[in-house]
């Protein structure tokens, strides 16, 4: 699957959609707090990619587990892209 973490569609409190750029935040968190080399490598890939990232099923599952720690609105926006 391809996900562009620089353009995550999120709706604000007024229902207006905007594109959130979470690639630096997500990449940094995965890299600095990852428990495996694979998580650190994935964090580096996401952090350094300014556009769509090709994820394996395992990498998508890792991102999904990781964003479980995030606030609801951003978490659900990311997970909706992972589910496609």
Which tens digits make up the pLDDT trace of 52-61? 999 999 999 9
Phi then psi for residue 76, to 5 deg, are -70, -30
Q: What is the pLDDT of residues 28-54, one digit of tens each?
A: 999 999 999 999 999 999 999 999 999
54 secondary structure, DSSP code = E
Q: Tell which residue, 82, 57, 63, has the closest CA to residue 23.
A: 63
**Sign of the CA dihedral with 24 first, then 29, 30, and 32 last:** positive
Residue 26 tokens, joined:
């997500």
Residues 6+ apart with CB under 8 A from 42: 30, 34, 59, 62, 63
Question: pTM for the full model?
Answer: 0.91
């Amino acid at each position: 699957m391809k996900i562009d973490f620089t353009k995550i569609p999120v709706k604000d409190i007024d229902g207006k959609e905007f594109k959130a750029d979470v690639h630096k935040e997500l990449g940094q968190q995965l890299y600095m707090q990852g428990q495996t080399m694979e998580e650190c490598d994935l964090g580096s890939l996401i952090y350094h990619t300014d556009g769509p990232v090709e994820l394996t099923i395992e990498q998508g599952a890792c991102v999904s587990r990781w964003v479980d720690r995030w606030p609801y609105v951003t978490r659900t926006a990311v997970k909706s892209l992972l589910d496609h």
